Amino acid sequence: MSSYCLLAENAYVKMTYDIQGSLQKDSQVTVSIVLENQSSSFLKSMELNVLDSLNTKLARPEGSSVHDGVPVPFQLPPGISNEAQFVFTIQSIVMAQKLKGTLSFIAKQNGEGSTHEKLDFKLHFSCTSYLITTPCYRTSWRKSVFTTIFLWWSAWAPAPPCTAAPSRATTSACW
């Protein structure tokens, strides 16, 4: 079950996102971004750009540079929302990441012309963003729990008795 979090919002657009690990490629995650038009303007020519880090990079179309944005594959009429998915490659999952990004778009007003707008955001990749949930059935859960308990119990040995002569230093450590 996914839970979308607020990414950024202004008078024109509201952005929420969710991150899912990839089952096919363990070095990739998919970021689903829901864009909701909150204005009376028609939003078009939308483009998402995220600054890459050493660890996390936005997958861009072939031939694009790291400074080029990724086009959003739809336009948004007033009051409409739609979802776009963007793929990121990950080098290491042991560190959380915060990537700065910008959604740029043209807001076309009815009969009043158009304006170029942008919305800045920070995309948070926590360490748990890379995890993939898989079902665990009763028999496999029971087997893993009993195996873990058995290994823990079989490695357990009672502590050796305290053989030190009672003194001020050892009375607190030995009973």
Query: pLDDT (tens digit, 9 = 90+) per residue, 33-52?
Result: 999 999 999 999 999 999 99
pLDDT for position 148: 63
State the DSSP H helix or E strand holding residue 148, giving kind and residue range, or none if neither: helix 138-155
Residue 175 above 50 pLDDT? no
pLDDT for position 36: 97
- DSSP labels, 83-94: EEEEEEEES-SS
What one-character DSSP code corresponds to residue 104? E
Segment 136-153 mean pLDDT = 65
CA–CA dist 139, 129 (Å, integer): 28
Q: Please provide residue 138's backbone torsions phi and psi, each rounded to the nearest 5 degrees.
A: -55, -45
Write down the CATH superfamily of domain 5-130. Answer: Gamma-adaptin ear (GAE) domain (2.60.40.1230)
